[in-house]
A and B are shown apart, each in its own frame.
Chain A
Amino acid sequence: MTTEVSVTVNGETYHVPDVEPRLLLSDFLRDLLGLTGTHVGCEHGVCGACTVLVNGDSVRSCLMLAVQANGAEIITVEGLGSPEELNVLQTEFREHHGLQCGFCTPGMLMTGEDLLRKYPLATDEDIREGLSGNLCRCTGYQNIVAAIRSAAVKRTEKAS
C-alpha cells in the first residue's frame, strides 16, 4: 500500500507518488527529494541533526513519517540561505566558528531559527536550554551559543 504525498518544501511544491507509509520524513527529504542537507544522526529522536521546520515548528524528521507531512509546509537547511548569500544565523555561525565537522549544523540552524522566532532568549542559559535537544560533538557548544546570541542581537536591531 502506497500513497501520494504532497508537500511544500522551501517554497517548492512536490507531489510524490507511491510513498510507503513507513517511510521516514528524513528519508523522504533526503532520498526522494534529494535534499541531503538534512542529516540523520541517530534515528531515535535524540541527536536533533535531522531537525526541520514543519508548519513553523521544529520537528525531528526521523520521528515523523512522510505521510504525516502530507499538505505541510516544510523548511529545511537548504531553504535558509545560499553559499553566496548566507542568512543572518548562518552568517553568525560562520563568524563565531559555530561549526566544525558540520554534521549537526543543519539541525542546530533549524532549532536556532525556531528559537529566534519564538523566544526572547534573554540569557545564554536560555539559549543552552533551547539547544539541549541538539547534540554537537565538535564545538563544545560555546561558539554555537555565541552565534545564536549574536543573531538574536542582529534581529532585534533590525526590528527596531
Chain B
Amino acid sequence: MSSDRRANPSDVLRPRNVGAPIKRTEDPRLLTGNGEYTADRKPDRPLHLAFLRSGQPHARIERIDTSAALGAPGVIAVLTADDIADDFKPVIPFSRMPNYHATPIVPLASRKVRYVGEPVVAIVATSRYLAEDALELIEVDYEPLGAISRAELAIADGAPLLHEEAGTNVLLAREFKKGDVGADLKAAAVRVGGRFEMTRKAPLAMEPRSYAAEYEKRRDAITLYTSSNIPGIVRDAVSESLGLPGHRLRVVAPDVGGSFGSKGSLYPEELLICIAARKLRRSVKWTADRLEDVSSSSQAFAEIVNAEMGFDANGIATSLQADVIGDVGAFSIYPWTCGLEPVQVVSFLPGPYKIGSYRGVVRGVATCKPPTGPYRGVGRPISTFVTERLMDLGAAALGVDPLEIRRRNLVRAEEFPYRIASGIIWDKTGFTECLDAAAEAVGYGQLRKLQAEARKQGRLFGIGIASYAELTGIGSRIAVAPGMPINTGSETAKITIDSTGAITAAFGVASHGQGLETTLAQIVADDLGARFEDVRVIQGDSDEVPMSTGTYASRSAVLGGGAAKHASKILQEKIKRVASHLLEANADDIEVTEGRAIVLGTDRAVTFKQIAKAVYSDMKTLPVEAREELTATYTYDPINGTTAAATHIAAVEVDPATCFVRILKFVVAEDCGRIINPMIVDGQVHGGVAQGIGAALLEELIYDEDGQLLTASLVDYMIPSAPEVPLMDVVHIESESAVAGGFRGMGEGGTIGAPAAIANAIADALSPLGIGVSILPMTPERIFKLMEQAKGREDE
C-alpha cells in the first residue's frame, strides 16, 4: 500500500540525532531579536497599506468617494475594486464535491460587502500612520441587505442570499452512511444523544498577519514575504491570478509567528499587496493590527451537532447518527473550501471506535462573518467533543466506568488496519495502549478515590477522559480537503553539498514554530552521515523547490521527513561512489558518518570537503564520469499517510461561588510513532493542550444579531495565560508506522483531545447537580446559568 518499507534494523541501530532532544537551531536568532518576521523586512523606501473595512454585515456598496483621501498627506494611491478590476483574476476555491458552491475570492469587496471586516478600500501611503489617517476621509454609502448572523437564520425561509449566484445560503451539503442506523438505534439497549455546539473561535497567532511585497523594477518581479504556512500555494495562486510566472514571483515565509491554521489560506490582502506593488512599481508593506487580525483572519469551529449513539447491553456502541450544521462565514476559503472544517467533523465522528452503523449529514451555511478555515485539529476537536460526550453519557446510562466503556469500544491492536464507519482507515496505532498509559500516569484508581472524598465534602470535582485518532501525513490518495484539486500528497527535499563541502537541505514545507530547521536537519544528519551542526535547512521559500504546498495537516515530519530520508540516501550513495575512487575501496565497504567517508574497519577516510573538492574543483583526481554533482532531490508521497492517536485525562474542580474551572491534573498519552525530537514533541503537546483549554473554558468570538463582533480585542477574546494552564504530563507510545522513518504527525493533537477531556471532567464534576455539558467554551457565565437552572429544578 505504501511506497515505503518499515524501518530496517540498521536504521534503528545507527541514528544519533533522530530521537535526541537536540537544542533548536532556530533559537539563537529568535532569542536575541535577530529573527526576521515579515514585518521586520526593510525594503528600500517601502510604501504602507491600510484597509478601510466594512462596518456593515451585508450591504450593497452604493458609492465610494476617495477624493479627499487621495489629497491627504503622504497618500500615494487609493484603490477600490473598480481601480484594480483589470489587474487580477478572481481566485476560485474549486472542489469536485457535489452540492458545493464555490465563492470567488477578490482583493477588495466589489458591489457588495458580506461581513464586518471585509476589505473595501486600500490606501497606499508613505507611512502606516498617514495611511490610517486617510482612511477617515473615505466616504462609502451602503444600502443594507439584511444581516445573517446565525446558521439557523441563513437556512430559514425568506433569508437574504449572501451569494445570489449560488441561489442558496447552503454552500455545501453531504451525507456519509454505513449500515442501517435506524434499525440499530431501535434495537439498542441504551440510546444517548443531544445537541452539541462548539462556538466560533479565533486561531489567534501572536504575530498578526503580515505581508511585504518587494518589487524589483528591472524585471517586473515580486518577492512576497508573507506570514504564511503555505507559501507554495500562495505563489501558485497569486501567479495564476496576476498572470505572473513563478520565476517572477517568489513567495517566502520567513520567521512566522505562529499560525494554527489562520495563516494557512490565501488572503485577499496577499493579492492586493502584490497588485499594488506592481501598479505602483514600489515595495509595499502591511501588517494587520489585532482588530483586523481577529476580525478578518480565518476562524474556527462554529458548528452545531445533533447526535445520537446506541449501545448494546454490554456497552458496545452499535450505531451513531449525526446532523452537523457549520456556520462557515461569508466565503469559501482558498484552497481548502468551506467544506474543510464541517465535512471533517462528519468524517471523524466515529473516532477510534468500532461503531457498526453510521449516518452523518452535514451542511455548510453562509453567514455574515469571516470565513472559517483550517484551525489546529480541523473538525476533530468537535467530533471528539461530541463522540466522547456520548461515550460518557452511554457509560453513565449503563453504569459502566468511562475508562472501561472506551476499552470495550476502541479498535484493538490485532484489528488494524481498521476502516471506521465513515470510511477512514486507521493504520496500526496504540489506541488501547494510549488509554492504559494515560490511566496509569494519572493514577486513575486513586483519582476516583480522591473524587469520592471530595464529593463527600460537597466539592465539585470531576475526571474526564477523551480518546481520539487522526490522520496525519496524508499522501496523494486522500485529498486534505474534500474534492480539492491541489496535490497535497507530496513534498520535496533537495540536498546539496557545494564546492566548499557545505551541506544545504532545501524544502518547501514552512515552519511557523514547529522547529523544522532542527528536526529536518536531525534526519538529514543521520541518513546522510553528516554532523548535525553542518546541515543548513532552508524552508518556506518557493524558489527552493519547484512545487510545495507547505506545512499544515500534521504533514511536515512525515512528508518533509520522508523526502529528507530518501534524498539523503541518494546523496550518500553518490558520496560513497566518489569515496570509493579516492580511497580505492569498494563502495559497499564504505561507511559515511559524521561528515566523513570511511573504509570499514580501517582508518582510511575522506571528509565531505575533500570529496567536494575532488568532484568540483580538481580536474585530475577523478575521471570525468565520476564527477557527479553532489546533489539529490526526492519528492516523497506516503500515498495513504498514517494515523496518530492519544488519550487525554483531565481532573478539574468547579468553584461553586465563582463558577471558575480549575484544572488540577492533565495527562496526555500519545502515539506519534518514532519521535524525531522529544523536546519538540512535548512542546507541541503542551501548546496544543493550552489551546484546547482555551477552547474548553475561555475563547469565543461573539457576533451579535447585526453581525458585529463583540470580542475583537484580547481583553474580550481571552486566550489562556500562564496561571490558567496547569502542569501537563506527557507519556509517549511509539508504535511502528509504515511511512518513511516511522514518523507520525502530531502538532494538532493537543487541541483535539483537550476540549473533550475537560468537557467530560466538568460534566463529571457537575453530575451531582444533574448538569451536563453540551456547549463549549464552558465559561463561568455558562456554568453559573446552568447551576441556577439546576437550582430552579430542585425548587420545583
Contacts and interface: CB of A to CB of B under 8 A. Distances in A.
A102 B30 contact: yes
A140 B725 contact: yes
B689 interface: yes
A99 B723 contact: no
Given A47-B206, A86-B31, A141 B290 contact: no
A151 B33 CA distance: 19
Interface in A106-147: 106, 109, 124-125, 127-129, 131-145
Interface stretch (A53-61, A65-73, A89-97): A89-97
B723 A41 contact: no
B725 A141 contact: yes
Given A97-B680, A103-B257, A140-B728, A131 B722 contact: yes
Nearest to A24: B129
Say whether chain A's binding surface is mostly helix, strand, loop, or mixed: loop
Given A80-B32, A141-B690, A143-B683, A131 B725 contact: no
Given A80-B32, A101-B207, A138 B723 contact: no
Contacts of B688: 140
B260 interface: yes
Contacts of A63: none
Contact of B683 (A38, A77, A94, A100): A100
Nearest to A91: B31
Contacts of B258: 100-101, 103, 137-138
Contacts of A77: 31-33
Interface in B16-60: 23-24, 26-37, 39-40, 42
Q: Please tell me the size bucket of the interface on A.
A: 35 or more
Given A99-B27, A103-B258, A137 B290 contact: no
Contact of A141 (B31, B204, B722): B722
Contacts of B129: 20, 22-23
B727 interface: yes
A139 B686 contact: yes
A158 interface: no
Interface centre among B32, B260, B682 (most CB of A within 10 A): B32
A109 B42 CA distance: 24
Nearest to B35: A102
A34 interface: yes
A140 B33 contact: no
A137 B32 contact: no
Contacts of A82: 32
Interface of B: 23-24, 26-37, 39-40, 42, 129, 204-208, 255-258, 260, 287, 289-290, 512-515, 679-680, 682-684, 686-691, 713-715, 719, 721-723, 725, 727-728, 750
The 4 closest A-B pairs by CB, nearest first: A37-B33, A103-B257, A101-B513, A102-B30
13 contacts: A37-B35, A43-B290, A46-B715, A83-B31, A86-B28, A97-B24, A97-B680, A99-B27, A101-B207, A103-B258, A131-B722, A137-B258, A140-B688
